[in-house]
Amino acid sequence: MDPLHSSNCNIRLFQEGETIFTEGSDSDAAYIIEAGLIEIFVGSGSDAVQLSVLGPGDIFGEMGLIDAYPRSASARAMCPCRCIVISAAQIAERIEASNPLVKLLISISLHRNRAYNTYFKTIMNSSHVVLPTLAVTEKAYVKNPQHRQILEEIKLESDLHKAVNNDELQPYYQPLFSMADNSIVGFESLLRWQCPDRGMVSPNQFISLAEETSLIVPIGDWILEQACIDLKTFQAHWQPGPGSPSHLFMSVNISVRQFQEPNFCEKLLALTQRYGVLPKHIKLEVTERIFLDQADAVEAIDDCRKAGFEVSLDDFGTGYSSLSYLERCEIDSLKIDQSFTQKICTSHRAKILVSSIIDISKKLGLITIAEGIETEEHRGILEDMGCDIGQGYLFSKPLPSSGILEFMANPPSQRP
């Protein structure tokens, strides 16, 4: 076999008149033309209808790779041609990683191209030009569950834009407690969305959507401002008991996009000065993903630490977990993911992992925070392991600022 026609090579040479693929055949590859001209046509023999002639830089054959339909047209070389071959896997991977709106636009474009090709097939044997029938123009992709999901995500994004403009978002706070004496030490800032049409929308739905779009920046700025305002109020009402910290802190989740904003640290400093909050009382929560080839974000994190802000590594032990982050990245505390916390009573392996994480953190001088504590058994095991701070429904559910003030006025009894 000619090596240029090998399945292991991504270059194909075609002779003049050579058929590359035929209408109705299985879709196994797409092609980018490097040299030569390719004719795209429907029908065969004297009944063939030319749809287009493509030249260097053009791509053809991609439609079947995207939706796995048989070829809707044929292709042949009009002269000696050189093409780059693209596999179905290469295209599928990129389509899957694209934005939902991009997926929808691709689906619509595919449908129109197929309808166009089918239309030509219906009229090429007729002396009269007729409009496409319903059968030709039927939008089969609309029936696809994935298409409906894409439309729903687009609608959700539109509603989220409205939520930002109409003040539908509300900050909530979950108290964090000292594992030693059950005293409040701080809060994590959370976000809730009460949509007039959808009701309460899960943060898992809209936070990830905001992070995929530019919305996370204005939302993140608003959260930070509200956190500073409310922390100042909480500190003013705080009456620490014996051994309790004199000042409470606030943890705020920060996305990669926020850290990548120009002068993020300077803006954050100006915000704390405006509301009279010390930088050391603001803990910036980041996920491990931020350390993956995000040099500008990591630089911004370093700037924030130098300015006095603390940094907490959130959801440790999941996703892109690596001990190398603890060695090369300057952080102040480490948060144990709730998926580990909730298994420590039933899984010996989870218990060993959590104990090891806490032990490593102590030796590195890091504060450990365990989220998802729901039972006294969870709390007892974590306290015995030496965990510093606990968070979860055992202590308190997330509350609006007014609920936090009531909670602080009647805190749970502190253990001696």
User: What is the pLDDT at residue 137?
Assistant: 43
Angle in degrees, 0-180, between the axes of helices 348-363 and 376-385, rounded to the nearest 10: 40
Chosen domain end from 63, 98, 133: 98
User: What is the pLDDT at residue 287?
Assistant: 83
Asked if residue 139 has pLDDT above 60, the reply is no
Instruction: Give me the torsion for CA of 304, 308, 314, 316, rounded to 10°.
Output: 100
Residues 71 and 180 occupy one common structural domain: no
37 falls within a domain: yes
Cα angle value 300/219/399 (rounded, 5°): 105
**pLDDT tens-digit map of 140-191:** 555 556 666 766 777 888 888 888 888 899 999 999 999 988 889 999 999 9
Domain span holding position 387: 169-409
Asked if residue 5 has pLDDT above 70, the reply is no
Asked if residue 104 has pLDDT above 70, the reply is no
Residues 56 and 194 occupy one common structural domain: no
Residues 81 and 181 occupy one common structural domain: no
Residues 93 and 174 occupy one common structural domain: no
Quick one: average pLDDT of 257-276?
93
Residues 237 and 322 occupy one common structural domain: yes
Rounded Cα distance between 210 and 55, Å, is: 40
User: What is the pLDDT at residue 170?
Assistant: 94
Residues 174 and 74 occupy one common structural domain: no
Cβ contact 13:5 at 8 Å:
yes
416 falls within a domain: no
120 falls within a domain: no
Angle in degrees, 0-180, between the axes of helices 216-237 and 401-409, rounded to the nearest 10: 20
Chosen domain end from 64, 98, 132: 98
| Domain at 65, CATH number | 2.60.120.10
* DSSP states of 333-347: EEEE-HHHHTTTTT-
137 falls within a domain: no
Backbone angles phi, psi at 210, to 5 degrees: -60, -40
**pLDDT tens-digit map of 325-338:** 677 678 899 999 88
Which DSSP letter does residue 144 get?
-
User: What is the pLDDT at residue 238?
Assistant: 86
Rounded Cα distance between 217 and 404, Å, is: 26
Most confident of 21-30, 43-52, 224-233, 237-246: 224-233
Which residues on neighbouring strands pair with residue 32, listed in sequence order? 59, 84
User: What is the pLDDT at residue 318?
Assistant: 65
Residues 173 and 90 occupy one common structural domain: no
Global pTM reads 0.69
Chosen domain end from 98, 132, 149: 98
CA distances (Å), origin 157, targets 203, 206, 210: 13, 8, 8
Asked if residue 265 has pLDDT above 90, the reply is yes
| Domain at 376, CATH number | 3.20.20.450
Asked if residue 17 has pLDDT above 70, the reply is yes
Residues 90 and 210 occupy one common structural domain: no
Cβ contact 299:290 at 8 Å:
no
Residues 56 and 195 occupy one common structural domain: no
Backbone angles phi, psi at 20, to 5 degrees: -90, -45
Of 55 and 125, the one with more pLDDT:
55
- How many CB atoms sit inside 10 A of residue 201's CB? 21
15 falls within a domain: yes
Of 387 and 325, the one with more pLDDT:
387
Asked if residue 110 has pLDDT above 70, the reply is no
Lowest mean pLDDT across 140-144, 206-210, 271-275, 359-363: 140-144
* DSSP states of 361-413: HHHTT-EEEE----SHHHHHHHHHHT--EE-STTT---B-HHHHHHHHHSPPP
Question: What's the sign of the alpha-carbon dihedral 156, 158, 159, 164?
Answer: positive
Residues 233 and 369 occupy one common structural domain: yes
260 falls within a domain: yes
**pLDDT tens-digit map of 395-412:** 999 999 999 999 988 876
130 falls within a domain: no
Domain count, the chain: 2
Q: How far is CA 388 from the centre of its chain?
A: 30
Mean of pLDDT over the chain: 82
Contacts of residue 238, defined as CB under 8 A and 6 or more positions apart, other chains included, come to 184, 247, 248, 408
Of all residues in the chain, what percent are helix, strand and coil, respectively (each to 5)?
A: 45, 20, 35
Rounded Cα distance between 331 and 281, Å, is: 15
Cα angle value 257/261/263 (rounded, 5°): 150
* DSSP states of 112-142: HHHHHHHHHHHHTT-SS--PPPHHHH--GGG
Residues 78 and 191 occupy one common structural domain: no
Quick one: average pLDDT of 195-210?
87
How does residue 126 score in pLDDT terms, banded at 50, 70 and 90?
low
Residues 174 and 60 occupy one common structural domain: no
134 falls within a domain: no
